[in-house]
Amino acid sequence: MNSNSIIQSLWIGARLSAMEILCINSYLANGHEFHLYTYNDILNIPKGTIIKDANEIVPKKDMYIDNFGGYVNLSNQFRFTMLYKLGGWWVDMDTVCLKPFDFDKSFVFSSEIIGPRTRVNNTYMKSQPGAKYLKDCLDFLLVRGHEHIHWGELGITLLSRMIFRNQLEQYIQQPDCFCPIPCYRIDQLISDSTCVLPETSYALHLWHNMWKTQQIDKDAKFPENSLYEMLKKKYDVFDLIE
């Protein structure tokens, strides 16, 4: 099987918002399989999604829950463990596929623009199973121990360190590839103006955490000309969020 054909992610919750439905539909429409790992039943999963038992990757009893009850650390624990076991692609559920992934490399890492600099992020990852950088990430979890892991400690700082330690930095893509709109410009997603994305972009990161911080409803209706609404229309989101 083509190493780009299967896209994998995790969702915790009983329902998908318009953003997560858009995510899944966009990958399916571009010819990918979408494997969604979950610990519970979900009400409105798009047709064609392949449901997987998340316990096969990280048993529920072993989940790294944040010290305030959130799932940021679990999300990172899960993606590192899943890729170490299975390899292939991981994407976050606030991403949109713009064209089929056709990367011939064994590793792919996304990056983002933060002010004047660029940094690695963990939104999109492609890996071989059993990769040493993933083992290094998982070993860090074991050494630190669940009770000593702080919020967000398993994210981009850890991943970046292990990428460079294992000399994989040549696999880091430019921000335009996966994150053409910076996190501090989410207004470009929902404003009443046409936003033109670079032709080099394979996907778009919608930055869910910024929506949450600014208390923007992912199910809300925005101007018809906004990028978010045009993508929802293109990928038939509306039937599952009524």
* pLDDT tens column, 43-94: 999 999 999 999 999 998 877 665 554 566 778 889 999 999 999 999 999 9
pTM: predicted TM-score of the whole model, two decimal places: 0.93
pLDDT at 177 over 80: yes
| Class at the top of the CATH hierarchy for domain 6-240 | alpha beta
- How large is the angle between the packed helices 18-29 and 227-234, nearest 10 degrees? 60
Taking a C-beta distance cutoff of 8 angstroms, is the pair 97, 203 a contact?
yes
Mean pLDDT, residues 123-139: 97
Confidence of residue 215 (pLDDT cuts 50, 70, 90): very high
Mean pLDDT, residues 92-120: 96
What's the confidence (pLDDT) of residue 72?
62
CB-based burial of residue 137 (10 Å sphere; 0-12 exposed, 13-18 middle, 19+ buried)? Answer: buried
Mean pLDDT, residues 129-136: 98
Tokens of 133: 């950088």
Confidence of residue 142 (pLDDT cuts 50, 70, 90): confident
Q: Residue 189, Cβ neighbours under 10 Å: how many?
A: 22
pLDDT at 129 over 90: yes
The CA-atom distances, in angstroms, between 15 and each of 41, 44, 66, 133, 233 are 9, 6, 21, 33, 20
pLDDT at 242 over 60: no
What's the confidence (pLDDT) of residue 222?
96
Instruction: Output phi, psi for 203, to 5 deg.
Output: -155, 175
Identify the residue with better confidence: 40 or 149.
40
